[in-house]
Chains A and B, each alone.
Chain A
Amino acid sequence: MKKIRRRITKIIFLLASLYLFILAILLLKEGARAVAPFAVQFFRVEHPLNALGFGWLFSYLILSGSPVAASALTFFDAGALDQIQAFMMISGSRLGAAFIVLLVGFLYTVRGHERRQSMVMGLLSLLVTATIYFPGLVLGYFLLTYHLLDFVQFGPGTEITSFLEQVFNPLLEPLASFLPAAVLFVMGIGLILFSLNLFDRSLPKVNLQRTGFAQAAYLIYRPVVMFLLGLAITTISPSVSVSLSILVPLSARGYVQQENVIPYIMGANIATLSDTLVVAVLLNNPPAVTIVVVDIVSIGLVSLAILLFSYTHYKRILTSVVNAINRSRLYLFVFVLVSLLLPIALLIL
């Protein structure tokens, strides 16, 4: 009986999260028409690097990347950003989100937990994301500038659009007529965060006990296998930090080793754009879909190139850098400082 009740609760959570997510996107879209031009002007987002810094800082502010990526698309939809700027802002949001994993570890350290254990995952997450995204930015810029993926454009279709209008307009229209655009925008951001959280709660929990050293201590998966696993799990649960937290009990049981984390993060970094792709489709803006597809393709190509051609060296270098930063308080301080100052510098360039 308890099991059935729990399942029903999870299904309700799932349906509610989907409803709230779509509502959040519609609120963002409505709010962005007034907020986007003001925000872009106020923060002087004039060129792609500004947009990168803006997305990066914005995700620090709200401690999440997904709402910022969604905002970038609504800003593009409102005409406040061009395609390349929106692409850069989305990429910035992912870099910011990766820093948040490090921030969580840093906060644990401040609260007196053992430093090395608290920081490793955050450092790896940020370094993998940065080393993949920076070359990915160049590739994506090239793909967008030369319109190489412009043929990839799709929308929700008229039937789905009219269904969404029928379901959401009765709630959206009164809200839009009574509340100022800025409030709608903030509500949209808040609802995205809430709906994603609800969505994660609707997923089954992985809770393994600490046993099985004998049979599991050898299990080191091929990098491509972990890449696909990161891709699959993060497609289901689009938050990278939630997706990474699934590794904790698996690691404790010996099923996942340090070797497995880097390709997993690579896969997760691509799949985390799945909710952004849904946003682009919901906005019914085909060029917005192209932006997200370009992001996915460029990050995917860079990740695959590393996995297939230089993974061993990449893994060694990254692990050494993480260990070096983790061993010295000074290095750690400098690393965190650079991570904070870099987006500010990009924004004011």
Chain B
Amino acid sequence: MKILICTDGSLHAEDALRFGGFIAQKSQDPVKIMGVAESWGEEEKIKEVLSRASEILGEVPNLETLVRRGHAAEEILREIEKGDYELVILGARGRRGITRFLLGSTAARIVENAPIPVLIVRRGRPTLERILICTAGGEPSELDIRFGGRIARLAEAPATLLHVMSQLPLSARSGAEELEASFEVLVSQGTREALHLQSGLEMLKEVGVEGEARIRRGLVVDEILGEAQEGDYDLIVIGAHQASGLYRFLLDDITRQVVLGTDRPVLVVRPKD
């Protein structure tokens, strides 16, 4: 798994380096640290930033550094396209202040446009002991589980598979008793949700990760954020918003809402084309 870590010297970026360093040390995979000089004369400063970044990263095999000049998000996306990366890691916010309340504009653009998984790191979560993998169902979710499982295995951390049932309990006639049932009851009834989670647990087991399944009911984003908070997870894994064409206008971007709403690192998994 070739990793690209982006830094601008900010505190969030330093945390991203520590997070990336941890994964790279465990996996022994090659890492490239990238900095972008966005204005004339900034190259020297970025070189200093990269030198400090190498120190933070510690003992990592095949470490490279790269300085580019231009717009940060565009240059990072260009490098992702060019290189054979499997994961890009960056801090939630950079040095610029325009969008510092929520998510930096660079991070937001990378999450939206990168064709590979993106790990957004936030301050204050130095360890990786509990991982929450959000799963909706279907083939794309299997990829989320597999990728989340890989990270969990490297961190030797247990993973929780979460599925939020947000179907409508519209009326007593809708035959929706299962909307109230626990995971165990759903398993005994053989519902689609239970089967999906069971197969997800099998996938985790295959890669040697201890997993458990949880089902919550309610509004999807709120329940994911609630579970992340209550379970004190160190990382949320979620699939990227994949709507295209007309669906881009019709469907809500749940992933974006989770990334914006949480105070925890988020790994947004997107299948590479």
Contacts and interface: CB of A to CB of B under 8 A. Distances in A.
Contacts of B222: 316, 319
Nearest to B254: A220
A261 B218 CA distance: 12
A244 B252 CA distance: 21
Interface in B159-199: 166-177, 179-180, 192-193, 196
Size class of the B contact interface (CB-based, 8 Å): 20 to 34
A258 B171 contact: no
B56 interface: no
A197 interface: no
Given A222-B250, A247-B168, A213 B193 contact: yes
B193 A117 contact: no
B219 A319 contact: yes
B143 interface: no
Dominant SS among interface residues on chain A: helix
B172 A118 contact: yes
A120 B166 CA distance: 13
Contact of B166 (A210, A225, A258, A323): A258
Size class of the A contact interface (CB-based, 8 Å): 35 or more
Contact of A118 (B166, B171, B218): B171
B108 interface: no
B168 A248 contact: yes
B170 A247 contact: yes
B134 to A, nearest CB: 11
Interface in A104-132: 104-105, 108-109, 113-114, 116-118, 120-121
Interface in A236-287: 244-245, 247-248, 251-252, 254, 256-259, 261
A244 B170 CA distance: 9
Contact of A114 (B137, B170, B180, B218): B180
A251 B169 CA distance: 9
Interface of B: 136-139, 166-177, 179-180, 192-193, 196, 218-220, 222, 249-252, 254
Interface of A: 104-105, 108-109, 113-114, 116-118, 120-121, 210, 213-215, 217-223, 225, 244-245, 247-248, 251-252, 254, 256-259, 261, 315-316, 319, 323
12 contacts: A114-B177, A114-B180, A117-B176, A118-B172, A121-B170, A213-B193, A217-B136, A218-B254, A257-B168, A259-B220, A319-B222, A323-B218
Given A114-B177, A214-B138, A220-B252, 19 more contacts: A105-B171, A105-B172, A116-B180, A117-B179, A117-B180, A120-B170, A213-B196, A214-B192, A214-B196, A218-B137, A218-B254, A221-B252, A244-B170, A251-B174, A252-B167, A256-B168, A258-B219, A259-B166, A259-B252
